[in-house]
Amino acid sequence: MKKRFFSILIPAMLLLAMASCSKSSFDYLGKSYPSSGTPEIFFRDQDVPQDYEVMGKVTAEVPYSKKLKYIQNKVMTVARENGADAVLFSDVNIRSTGTTRSSGGAATGRRVRGGGNVSRSSDNEVKNVEAVLLKYKSNIPSKSE
């Protein structure tokens, strides 16, 4: 019985650990326009060649193991889907997240096993990227259209 319990518990814990490490999120808050092709990429606002309106902001949080090129491609997809003319990558940082779990002694039937305190902790590093989506003022549809 005990052997079977552990043969189920260990794979379940591994699946949970892998699932929690592989989560990526890409959130967009802002306006949308009709698609205008492939957006340009900028890393400094003074490099943007035209007057623009800030459409919104994309925030991405991905596991540390993901390459920055993966993040860039995903952000560019969000920009294209929302009609951005340009993307201004504004912030890239690495953040540690962690969890701690503890439990007291275990009891089975009438027997109480002493000294059963268990504590587990895990640290994960994630990459956070922020990007601003831009629409060139010359490409903003007029309200009468």
Q: Which amino acid is at 126?
A: V
Query: For the chain, how far is it from start to end, CA to CA, in angstroms?
Result: 72
Of the candidates 91, 84, 89, 90, which has an alpha carbon nearest to the alpha carbon of residue 134?
A: 84
Task: Name the DSSP class of 83.
Answer: T
Quick one: 128 exposed, middle or buried, by C-beta within 10 A (0-12, 13-18, 19+)?
middle
pLDDT, averaged in runs of 10, over the chain (145 residues) = 59 48 85 93 96 96 92 95 96 75 57 57 82 96 72
pTM tops 0.85, yes or no: no
